[in-house]
Structure 1
């Protein structure tokens, strides 16, 4: 399985993430860290991810996102994008966007409080859709 690992860090100690790292994995093996070209393509994704407030203090990497797509129909187009928000090796919570009829539109959004504001609402679903769409544009 291929996935993008996203790590946000608050290195300044100001209470908000100020550093983003992107790592590309295949079968839990690091393939590469994001290049400058990748970072340009990931800019919108990174900005949306920062709104999720899922970050580490200092240089920590325990809190991170693993995002990946699935193609159960094997037609070459992803029907599902899954987001796993990790706290170390444990998945703290999950979200997903599903294209039920393979028309390129996500009809089913499964999410909890992905922006950590204490409410699971339309904003959370919008963030999941935005992250899923932006992830698919990266092409990993």
Structure 2
């Protein structure tokens, strides 16, 4: 299964999150397939996330300024959820993945799972979850599920907006779990 794992940490030990790591996994592998790092250039930047180093995270075949802008936007959106710790261990992370509910070949469900723990994501490390279902209609409508993620965050409407925003950004990465299903592909005929 393909998923994105986003973590943040205080690399300069100045009580400010100054590095956000984006790791794109394809299956249960111990190493990410593609990565991006978004961070401050010095400890005086205080959360501005100026420096970006990104692989080809949108699947275009080349890593360029589009990948950097997408990585920066994902990092900033992730930080809005405040799902990180200033002090070690930096074991809080967000897992994002997609599904194709209507089997039309396009992802329409984006799941966000907020984990606390080390290693590969498991159900045991999930602390909270949210999802956004895009209806793939001309009006670009969506339905959000369980967007009350954290009591300390502003309002449920504010959190819903960020769930939708990060879901849309993740879809731009084209890091989905869509499999080409052919009708009746398992049926053989003998003539």
- The TM-score, its normalising length taken from structure 2, stands at 0.64
Tell me which residue corresponds to 1:64.
93
- 1:3-22 alignment, distance < 5 Å: 3-22=3-22
Q: Deviations over 1:24-67 (max 9, x none)?
A: 11122232323354333221121111111111335644100010
Shift of 1:108: 1.1
Is 1:84 aligned with 2:133? no
Runs of 5+ unmatched residues, structure 1 = none
Q: Report the 3-state secondary structure (helix = DSSP H, G, I; strand = E; otherwise coil) of the residue aligned with 1:128.
A: helix
1:123 is aligned, of 131, 134, 158, to: 158
Q: Deviations over 1:66-89 (max 9, x none)?
A: 101110222111110000010015
Higher normalized contact order (CA 8 Å, seq sep 6+, divided by chain length): 1
User: Is the 1:45–1:135 Cα contact (8 Å) retained in structure 2?
Assistant: yes
Q: Structure 1 residues 121-130 or 7-16, which shifts more?
A: 7-16
Tell me which residue corresponds to 2:178.
none
- 1:33-44 alignment, distance < 5 Å: 33-34=35-36, 35=54, 37=63, 38-44=67-73
Is 1:109 aligned with 2:144? yes
Rg larger in 1 or in 2? 2
Count of residues in Structure 1 that have an aligned counterpart in Structure 2: 139
More strand by share: 1
CA change 1:8–1:78 in 2 (3 A) is same
Distance, in Å, in 1 between the alignment partners of 2:141 and 2:126 is: 23
Shift of 1:113: 3.6
CA change 1:135–1:106 in 2 (3 A) is farther
Distance, in Å, in 2 between the alignment partners of 1:15 and 1:92 is: 24
Distance, in Å, in 2 between the alignment partners of 1:61 and 1:118 is: 20
User: Is the 1:11–1:57 Cα contact (8 Å) retained in structure 2?
Assistant: no
- Aligned CA RMSD, in angstroms, stands at 2.3
